[in-house]
Chains A and B, each alone.
Chain A
Amino acid sequence: MYGRMKDRRRESRLATHPSLRVCGARFDLMPEGAAWLADERLLVVADLHFEKGSAFAARGVALPPYDTRATIARLEALVEKLKPQTLVALGDSFHDREAGHRMSPEDAARLARLSRSLDWVWIAGNHDPVPPRAFGGAVMEELRVGPLTFRHEPRAAPSTGEVAGHLHPCAAVRVRGRRLRRRCFASDGTRMIMPAFGAYAGGLNVLDAAYGDLLPGFDFHAWMMGAKTVIPVSARRLEGD
């Protein structure tokens, strides 16, 4: 399955995005870090962490206050390009409970405009069990679409068709002696763990023990984010941190 996809990627790298099937449902993987379920016109993103910058500022670390608008701008561009009917934010969309209050008025207005322009689903996360109401959209613990279940925190197997976030997967691989470390989608074909989308979100290596119950062994792929495309790499080729 993966071998064939690799070939297809080589044929038309620019024309289409590589795709990945989770329990038969076909996702296009966007290099921006989003997954596109074209059949449902549904766009998925995970771990936006709005206002992570200001959360640090409140503790005396004045990170540039532009992470929220950087994240929104990338979302806007994707919505513009794909025209989704539904957007699912897989939880931890807001860095903490106060995030909505700290957001600058123009960022808040921009996010509200975007979230009201389509069917927006806020999946509740551990950082934002109760996302702010000001931005509209539906708040859910889980969303089921066909064979798929969208939730924030992935659950130990069996969890067929699960699409989750929470872990901020990233992967490292060595090419000609050079080590590359990128955010990634991690999937064994029965589940998918999404990369964090937020501008300041860090990453946790997919070989970390935290993934042990979710993607046991090495029978999975990391779809590493390149500048223009997403590249699947077998877990056997990956390196830890």
Chain B
Amino acid sequence: MMKPLAGAPDAETLPPAFTRWFEARGWRPRAHQLALLALARQGKSALLIAPTGAGKTLAGFLPSLADLATRSAPKKRALHTLYISPLKALAVDVKRNLEMPIAEMGLDISIETRTGDTPQNRRQRQRREPPDILMTTPEQLALLLSYPDAGAFFGSLAHVVLDELHALANSKRGDLLALGLARLAKLAPCLRRTGLSATVAEPDALRRYLMPQPPERDGESLSEVVVAPPGALPEISVLTPADEGDEEIRIPWSGHSARHALPAVYEAIRANRTTLVFVNTRSQAEFVFQELWRLNEDALPIALHHGSLAAEVRRKVEAAMSAGTLRAVVCTSTLDLGIDWGEVDLVVNMGAPKGASRLLQRIGRANHRLDDPSRAVLVPANRFEVLECEAARAAAIEGAQDGMIARTGALDVLAQHILGCACSAPFDPDDLYGEVRSAAPYRGLTRDDFDKVVAFVSTGGYALKNYDRFARLRPNAKAEGDMRLRAASPSVIQQYRMNVGTIVEAPMLKVRMTKRGGRRPVGGPGRNMGGRYLGEIEEYFIDQLAPGDTFLFAGQVLRFEGLAETEALVTKSNAAEPMIPSYYGGKFPLSTYLAGRVRRLFAHREAWAALPAPVREWLEIQAWRSVLPGENNLLVETFPRGDRFYLVCYPFEGRLAHQTLGMLLTRRLDRAGARPLGFVASEYALAIWCLRDPGMMHERHELPLGELFAEDMLGDDLDAWLAESSLLKRTFRDCAIISGLIERRYPGMEKTGRQVTFSSDLIYNVLREHEPDHILLRATWNDAATGLLDVGRVAEMLKRVKGRIQLKRLDRVSPLAVPVLLDIGKVSVRGDADEALLSEAADDLIAEATRLV
């Protein structure tokens, strides 16, 4: 299926200017670069899979450059190639990298970027006088397609290059882009597509994504694929205290801060030239940055980079990085992709990587030279993470990847696209339906659903037909029988352009320095209180703070003073430690593939040799006190503790799936009379506590575990619970915004006070009560079921463990159960007193679990 580089031509097929350029540098075009060129000459679309540093970008553009270099002089420039990247910074960076060879070969080719930052006048000029090559983002493509002149603008388009396709395709942005590509295929029928991707587990999904799909009965269409040889094997180590020979430092039982390991991380930074320190959340970035500076006796230039910092701060860090003046940057996934910083020689990943592919992507940030190995250090924050890091390391050495979750195109994105089409030109629903279904994610879309989405775009699509006179779509010329649909008014078009895109940010508040002891801040005028602007922070985080609380932001401990309009006012705090511990839990769930590998590691003792002694002992005592989870079964432990009975199980399916499972099991336990009181979920385990003993209930056949973990979730009113959950309400809000039902909140729009805005929760409640099968609720449910709630994953797990549940009734807590039990009460941890209380409790638990008699 993937014959790499079959029929690759030799360098002679390049235009002479190109051959001379390669020769002048002592380079030769790489085989995969020539293979792409050959396929392009045959008019074929292709997917290029290549590791970082393999000249992927040049490979993608070489066919366009060759084509443009040899064309006869055009009368007027017309758009030839469109480049689309997930990051605007990447578009800018790639443009810079292309300009050099173009200038050196003396080619008359114009390249421009178009992003959200491009000034209005230049955007207008670009539509009148397009460059040969335009570098842009999926959102800008959607905008360009919504103009009436889209047909003329894209008519000449010969080639689309999709960069980092693996990061784009499997998301709502990918859905939007797929619909845009389907449109482009209509406007420019000879269009070729090139996808550039890192290694993926299932290349066929991306090959399908690249091609316009025929109707389902005619099978599927796959692009060609070119696979470049892999780079050198990465060198990955897992940092554990044992490495340092320091017996005093224990690997924590729970928690996500990895504070114990930071001195060793600092040493690694000192020993290398430039280090990228990846973390999973903004708050973790803040914490690690602060701790590193506390250790930074040599005053090494160490910087911080995350999405919430002010843009100018981020740009400064990026510039310093490019100039090679930084020794380390602590960053979140904002730096996972793209930009080539050349001199990075070590990647540190704080905490567990959560997925094999994410780890490979991050490791690839170190050393862009293909033939040298990338070097990475994984820093587990607790004992379970040691196992996860080991599993991830083994996966990375094998080059193994996470599987992709098969995705069906989101209906809210489709709604946005349909409105965009109506803004550009009148459309015939029959034609548009065919076009939409040619986009791979929407292949299975039924006509009924399509029509419902069209109705939604026009009038909300409610069963109560009250809004027909406010319809946003109108027949083009009803009197003449032209029933094609168009946008009803310029204000509809305006609305679309304000709302385009699928990224819904959590509502953010500006963080600004102020003078201590201002007036009562709520609702005050607040204008003259402003000092330096530090960045933006999630509104829900600030909601959790009371004035006087201290927290970490922008690398310092700040004291929250109060709110003024949309700004959180803060002062500098002298406290060394913030009072409000940020939540360090990962926002990425453990991938199914990696979870499987962790289970395997438990089951295979011979692999434990790689583990540090305390972790090995922990597993040994678990084997002795209870039993180890197997590769394919589900271990369930029950034990009394205090006046309660605990049930702990180890599905290893990630926190989100475990939360959903926890909800399901508590309902079933409740019905069976076990009187469950609560549950807590971690990435690896789920603990539920009850007034009656579920282990005993199993043995008395009151509630057999087979029934408790039964596969069939119907009749559990799980839906009803989920519908009430705040997760679903948040998902609804995102869908309502993407679909264009409600408008985005922009900074400064809330000035009129909150009582005039409506809350999406109120809309959700009313809609759920009166039209529960409305298309928008279905879109919400689809999102939640695949992503946030992982219902699908819970169902898969229950199927997998059917008939393989192993119950171990214990007289006290097992070693493996300690970490998840320590998570209980984490919600209310505040200040030092609570911290001390908790650690006391923790020591009790550990002594109890490891006591040998």
B769 within 8 A of A: yes
B762 A200 Cβ-Cβ under 8 A: yes
Number of interface residues of B (CB under 8 A): 42
Partner of B766, one of A178, A200, A208: A200
Write out the residue numbers on chain B whose beta carbons fall within 8 Å of the beta carbon of A205.
522-523, 754
Give min CB distance, A210 to chain B, whole Å: 7
A204 B460 Cβ-Cβ under 8 A: no
A104 B464 Cβ-Cβ under 8 A: yes
A240 B523 Cβ-Cβ under 8 A: yes
A70 B769 Cβ-Cβ under 8 A: yes
B754 A241 Cβ-Cβ under 8 A: yes
A30 within 8 A of B: no
A70 to B741, CA, bound (A): 20
With known contacts A203-B754, A240-B563, A63–B763 Cβ distance under 8 A: yes
A133 to B33, CA, bound (A): 77
A62 to B763, CA, bound (A): 11
Give min CB distance, A63 to chain B, whole Å: 6
A168 within 8 A of B: yes
B755 A209 Cβ-Cβ under 8 A: no
A176 within 8 A of B: yes
Partner of A64, one of B460, B543, B563: B460
A199 B521 Cβ-Cβ under 8 A: no
Within 749-808 of B, Cβ neighbours of A (below 8 Å) are at: 753-759, 762-763, 765-767, 769-771, 774
Write out the residue numbers on chain B whose beta carbons fall within 8 Å of the beta carbon of A176.
827-828
A179 within 8 A of B: yes
A58 to B763, CA, bound (A): 17
A177 B828 Cβ-Cβ under 8 A: yes
Interface string of A57-82 (1 = CB under 8 A from B): 11011111111011000000000000
Write out the residue numbers on chain B whose beta carbons fall within 8 Å of the beta carbon of A174.
546
Q: Which residue of A lies closest to B459 (CB)?
A: A62
Give min CB distance, B560 to chain A, whole Å: 11
B375 within 8 A of A: no
Give min CB distance, A91 to chain B, whole Å: 15
B562 within 8 A of A: yes
Give min CB distance, A112 to chain B, whole Å: 17
With known contacts A64-B767, A207-B522, A179–B543 Cβ distance under 8 A: yes
B546 A60 Cβ-Cβ under 8 A: no
Write out the residue numbers on chain A whose beta carbons fall within 8 Å of the beta carbon of B459.
57, 62
Write out the residue numbers on chain A whose beta carbons fall within 8 Å of the beta carbon of B521.
240
A58 to B766, CA, bound (A): 19
A167 to B771, CA, bound (A): 30
Within 177-228 of A, Cβ neighbours of B (below 8 Å) are at: 177-179, 199-205, 207-210
Within 37-73 of A, Cβ neighbours of B (below 8 Å) are at: 52, 54, 56-58, 60-67, 69-70
A241 B769 Cβ-Cβ under 8 A: no
B315 within 8 A of A: no
A239 within 8 A of B: yes
Give min CB distance, A110 to chain B, whole Å: 13
B462, B754, B758, B770: most-surrounded residue (chain A CB, <10 A): B758
A241 B767 Cβ-Cβ under 8 A: no
A57 to B466, CA, bound (A): 10
A54 B466 Cβ-Cβ under 8 A: yes
Q: Which residue of A lies closest to B488 (CB)?
A: A60
A130 to B470, CA, bound (A): 25
A-side interface mostly: loop
B763 A200 Cβ-Cβ under 8 A: yes
B755 A70 Cβ-Cβ under 8 A: no
A205 to B763, CA, bound (A): 20
With known contacts A179-B543, A207-B523, A66–B464 Cβ distance under 8 A: yes
A57 to B459, CA, bound (A): 8
B762 A65 Cβ-Cβ under 8 A: no
Partner of A61, one of B742, B771, B827: B742
Give min CB distance, A100 to chain B, whole Å: 14
A80 to B467, CA, bound (A): 31
Q: Which residue of A lies closest to B471 (CB)?
A: A62
B464 A62 Cβ-Cβ under 8 A: no
With known contacts A176-B828, A199-B762, A204-B755, A64–B770 Cβ distance under 8 A: yes
B743 A64 Cβ-Cβ under 8 A: no
A104 B466 Cβ-Cβ under 8 A: yes
B830 within 8 A of A: yes
B770 A69 Cβ-Cβ under 8 A: yes
B755 A168 Cβ-Cβ under 8 A: yes
Write out the residue numbers on chain B whose beta carbons fall within 8 Å of the beta carbon of A67.
766
A67 to B754, CA, bound (A): 19
B754 A202 Cβ-Cβ under 8 A: yes
B599 within 8 A of A: no
Write out the residue numbers on chain B whose beta carbons fall within 8 Å of the beta carbon of A167.
755
B446 within 8 A of A: no
Write out the residue numbers on chain B whose beta carbons fall within 8 Å of the beta carbon of A204.
753-755
A239 B763 Cβ-Cβ under 8 A: no
A69 to B492, CA, bound (A): 28
Write out the residue numbers on chain B whose beta carbons fall within 8 Å of the beta carbon of A64.
460, 462, 763, 766-767, 770-771, 774
Give min CB distance, A196 to chain B, whole Å: 8
A115 to B150, CA, bound (A): 55
Partner of A208, one of B495, B522, B757: B522
Write out the residue numbers on chain A whose beta carbons fall within 8 Å of the beta carbon of B769.
66, 70
Write out the residue numbers on chain A whose beta carbons fall within 8 Å of the beta carbon of B544.
177, 179
A34 to B830, CA, bound (A): 37
B491 within 8 A of A: yes
Q: Which residue of B lies closest to A54 (CB)?
A: B466
Write out the residue numbers on chain B whose beta carbons fall within 8 Å of the beta carbon of A199.
762, 765-766
A200 to B543, CA, bound (A): 22
Write out the residue numbers on chain B whose beta carbons fall within 8 Å of the beta carbon of A201.
755, 758, 762
A60 B472 Cβ-Cβ under 8 A: yes
Give min CB distance, A47 to chain B, whole Å: 9
Within 798-853 of B, Cβ neighbours of A (below 8 Å) are at: 827-828, 830
Q: Which residue of B lies closest to A105 (CB)?
A: B466
B524 within 8 A of A: yes
Give min CB distance, A156 to chain B, whole Å: 17
Write out the residue numbers on chain B whose beta carbons fall within 8 Å of the beta carbon of A168.
755
Partner of B467, one of A62, A70, A200: A62
Write out the residue numbers on chain A whose beta carbons fall within 8 Å of the beta carbon of B495.
60
Q: Which residue of A lies closest to B764 (CB)?
A: A64
Q: Which residue of A lies closest to B470 (CB)?
A: A57
A69 to B830, CA, bound (A): 45
Within 507-523 of B, Cβ neighbours of A (below 8 Å) are at: 521-523
A106 to B769, CA, bound (A): 18
B546, B766, B774: most-surrounded residue (chain A CB, <10 A): B766
Write out the residue numbers on chain A whose beta carbons fall within 8 Å of the beta carbon of B562.
240
Write out the residue numbers on chain A whose beta carbons fall within 8 Å of the beta carbon of B830.
177
B766 A57 Cβ-Cβ under 8 A: no
Write out the residue numbers on chain A whose beta carbons fall within 8 Å of the beta carbon of B522.
205, 207-209, 240-241
A167 to B563, CA, bound (A): 20
Within 18-48 of A, Cβ neighbours of B (below 8 Å) are at: none
Write out the residue numbers on chain B whose beta carbons fall within 8 Å of the beta carbon of A207.
522-523
Within 189-237 of B, Cβ neighbours of A (below 8 Å) are at: none
Give min CB distance, B48 to chain A, whole Å: 43
Write out the residue numbers on chain A whose beta carbons fall within 8 Å of the beta carbon of B762.
199-202
A2 to B287, CA, bound (A): 44
Give min CB distance, B834 to chain A, whole Å: 10
Within 447-498 of B, Cβ neighbours of A (below 8 Å) are at: 459-460, 462, 464, 466-467, 470, 472, 491-492, 495
A212 to B524, CA, bound (A): 11
Q: Which residue of B lies closest to A196 (CB)?
A: B755
Interchain Cβ contacts under 8 Å between A and B, 14 examples: A54-B466, A54-B467, A54-B470, A58-B470, A63-B460, A177-B830, A200-B758, A204-B754, A205-B754, A208-B522, A208-B523, A208-B753, A210-B523, A239-B546
Contacts beyond the supplied A58-B470, A65-B466, A66-B769: 19 A-B pairs with Cβ under 8 Å:
A60-B491, A63-B741, A63-B763, A64-B770, A66-B462, A102-B466, A104-B464, A104-B466, A177-B828, A178-B827, A179-B544, A200-B758, A200-B762, A202-B756, A208-B523, A208-B753, A210-B523, A210-B753, A240-B521
| Across the A-B interface, the 9 shortest Cβ-Cβ residue pairs | A62-B460, A240-B522, A66-B770, A209-B523, A204-B755, A208-B523, A64-B767, A65-B466, A168-B755
